[in-house]
Amino acid sequence: MGIRLTLFFTRGVSLQEWAQNGMLDREVALYHALQERNVQTNFITHGLAYDLQYADRLKDIHIYCNRKGRSPERYEGWLPFLHALPLLRSDVIKTNQMNGADLALRAARFYRKPLIARCGYLWSEFSEIEHGVGSPLAIKARRIEDDVFRAAHSIVVTTAMMRDSISKRLPEAASKLHVIPNFVETNRFVPMNLTAEVDLLFIGRLHPQKNLENLLAAIRPLEVTLRVIGSGPLEHDLRARFSDLNGRVQWLGNLPNAELPAQINRARMFILPSHYEGHPKTLIEAMACGKATIGGRSPGIREIIQHEKNGWLCETHPDSIRAAIQHLVQHPELREVLGKNARQFAVENYALDPLAEREYRLLLKASQKVGTFQG
C-alpha cells in the first residue's frame, strides 16, 4: 500500500497564483516524481474554486481548496474540518513553508498524524530583515516556527545554513533536521545550442530583496543588454525610473517555467544580485543550463556559487556588480569554464530523481508513525 501525503500550501497561496507566476509545473514536479514511488498527494490550498480547474495539469494530485469562498479567517478556522476526509486518511502531513505551517500543525495534532515541517527559507529571518528584529511579524514568525519545529516528526530545510540556525535556536530539534535542497529538472534545464540574444538574464520577483535597482544602476553606463523575467511590487517604480535604458533592458513579466530553459540559453550570463536568499531555484536552474552566473555575495547565494569555480560572486552595490559584469563580458573563455562547472555542480547536487528518493525515504519513515503524533 502506498503513502498518502497531504501538503499544506503557504498561507494565502493558491494554484492559480502558482500558475500566474509561472511556477506551477516546477512546483508539482516533485510530487509527480513521488507518484512514481506510490505516494498519493493531496494539496490543501488557499485558493477559491478556480483552483479546481488545474486538476488535469496535476494528474492524480487531489485538490482541496476554499471552494465556497469563505473569508480567509473563516476558511483557516474551519480548515481541518472542511477537509476532514483527506486529512483523516493521510499518513503524513507536510508544510510547504512556515507561513501557514500553524494550520498544518493544528491538523496534525487533531488527527494525530506525523508532521514533516518543510521550509525553503526561514520566515522569521526574512521577516527580521524586512520588518525589524522586534517587529510583530518577526515575533509571530519565530513563535510559529518554534512550535512547528518542536512538534514535527522531521524538519526539512534546503541549506546547511538553515539547519545550523535552527539547531542553535532549538538544540532539541537538531536530531530531526534534514537538508534536502531545491531540485532542478536537469533533463529540461540543459545547455542548448541557441544564439545569445542578450548579455544578462535576471529571473525573480521585482522586490527589494532581489536588488534589481542596483543591477539597473550598474548597467546604466555599460553597453550591455539585460532581460528581466518576473513581476512584483517594484515593477512600476523601476520601469518608470529606468525605462528600457535606450532599448538595452527588456521587461518580459512572468513566464511559465517550461519557457525558462530556452530563455536562459538565449543569454550569455545569468545574474542574481540579491541581498539575501533561501535556496534560489532560478540560480540553480541557470547553472544546470551551463550558464556563467553572477551572484551577490549574500546568504543563500554564497553557499551555492564557489567564486571563480562554478560562478562569480560580487558585492551587492552597483560598482561591484558592474565590475563583475565587465570582467565576464571581457573573458568569454572564463564564462565557458564557469558554465561547464556550473552544469556539473547542478547535476551532482540538485537533480530531481535522487532528491525525490530522499524525500520518499523520509515520508516512508514518518508514515510508520501514524497515530503517534509527538507534539
- Name the percent of the chain lying above pLDDT 70: 98
Is 190 among the domain residues? no
Could you give the residue ranges of the DSSP H alpha helices within the chain? 15-20, 24-35, 55-58, 72-82, 84-89, 101-111, 123-131, 136-151, 160-169, 212-219, 235-242, 260-265, 281-288, 318-330, 332-350, 352-367
Is 334 among the domain residues? yes
Mean pLDDT, residues 291-303: 98
Sheet architecture: strand order including 115-119: 62-64, 39-44, 3-8, 92-95, 115-119, 154-157, 177-179
pLDDT at residue 237, rounded to an integer: 95
Is the pLDDT confidence value at 228 over 70?
Answer: yes
Is the pLDDT confidence value at 369 over 80?
Answer: no
On whether both 229 and 129 belong to a single domain, the answer is no
Mean pLDDT, residues 328-334: 98
Mean pLDDT, residues 156-177: 97
For the chain, give the number of residues.
375
pLDDT band at 329, cuts 50/70/90?
A: very high
Contact 24, 50 (CB under 8 A): no
On whether both 359 and 344 belong to a single domain, the answer is no
On whether both 295 and 243 belong to a single domain, the answer is yes
Is the pLDDT confidence value at 297 over 80?
Answer: yes
Is 43 among the domain residues? yes
Distance, CA of 76 to CA of 66 (rounded, Å): 9
Is 315 among the domain residues? yes
Kindly state the cell numbers that stand for 144: 510559529
Q: Under DSSP, is residue 369 helix (H, G, I), strand (E, B) or coil? A: coil
Q: Under DSSP, is residue 208 helix (H, G, I), strand (E, B) or coil? A: helix
Distance, CA of 210 to CA of 74 (rounded, Å): 34
Kindly state the cell numbers that stand for 185: 529538472
On whether both 331 and 238 belong to a single domain, the answer is yes
Distance, CA of 69 to CA of 38 (rounded, Å): 33
pLDDT band at 253, cuts 50/70/90?
A: very high
CA torsion sign for 37, 42, 48, 49 is positive
pLDDT band at 298, cuts 50/70/90?
A: very high
Contact 22, 256 (CB under 8 A): yes
Is the pLDDT confidence value at 370 over 70?
Answer: no
Kindly state the cell numbers that stand for 345: 555542480
Residues 6+ apart with CB under 8 A from 48: 14, 16, 65, 66, 67, 69
Contact 125, 162 (CB under 8 A): no
On whether both 247 and 291 belong to a single domain, the answer is yes
Closest by CA to 26, choosing from 35, 16, 18, 36, is 18
Distances (CA, A) of 42 to 6, 55, 197: 5, 11, 41
Is the pLDDT confidence value at 373 over 80?
Answer: no
Distances (CA, A) of 368 to 3, 4, 73, 257: 10, 12, 33, 35
The answer, as to whether pTM is greater than 0.85, is yes
Per-residue pLDDT of 95-141, as tens digits, reads 999 999 999 999 999 999 999 999 999 999 999 999 999 999 999 99
Mean pLDDT, residues 48-70: 97
Is 374 among the domain residues? no
Distance, CA of 112 to CA of 40 (rounded, Å): 19
pLDDT band at 81, cuts 50/70/90?
A: very high
Is 70 among the domain residues? yes
Q: What are the beta bridge partners of residue 116?
A: 94, 154
Is 134 among the domain residues? yes
Contact 262, 289 (CB under 8 A): no
pLDDT band at 244, cuts 50/70/90?
A: confident
pLDDT at residue 73, rounded to an integer: 97
Is the pLDDT confidence value at 264 over 80?
Answer: yes
pLDDT at residue 375, rounded to an integer: 60
pLDDT band at 371, cuts 50/70/90?
A: low
On whether both 207 and 344 belong to a single domain, the answer is yes
Q: What are the beta bridge partners of residue 327?
A: none
Q: Could you tell me the residue range of the domain that residue 260 belongs to? A: 198-350
Is 188 among the domain residues? no
Distance, CA of 58 to CA of 28 (rounded, Å): 7
Longest dimension (CA), the chain: 63
- Give percent helix, percent strand, percent coil of the chain, each to the nearest 5: 50, 15, 35
On whether both 107 and 247 belong to a single domain, the answer is no
Q: What's the number of domains the chain is made of?
A: 2
Mean pLDDT, residues 232-255: 94
On whether both 148 and 223 belong to a single domain, the answer is no
On whether both 64 and 158 belong to a single domain, the answer is yes
On whether both 342 and 362 belong to a single domain, the answer is no
Contact 271, 264 (CB under 8 A): no
Across the chain, mean pLDDT equals: 97
Mean pLDDT, residues 222-237: 96
On whether both 165 and 208 belong to a single domain, the answer is no
How far does the chain reach from its first CA to its final CA, in angstroms?
A: 27
On whether both 215 and 172 belong to a single domain, the answer is no
pLDDT band at 324, cuts 50/70/90?
A: very high
- Output the domain CATH number for residue 7: 3.40.50.2000
Contacts 24+ apart (CB under 8 A), 292-295: 292/268, 292/328, 292/334, 292/335, 292/336, 292/338, 292/339, 292/342, 293/269, 293/338, 293/342, 294/269, 294/270, 294/321, 294/324, 294/325, 294/328, 295/271
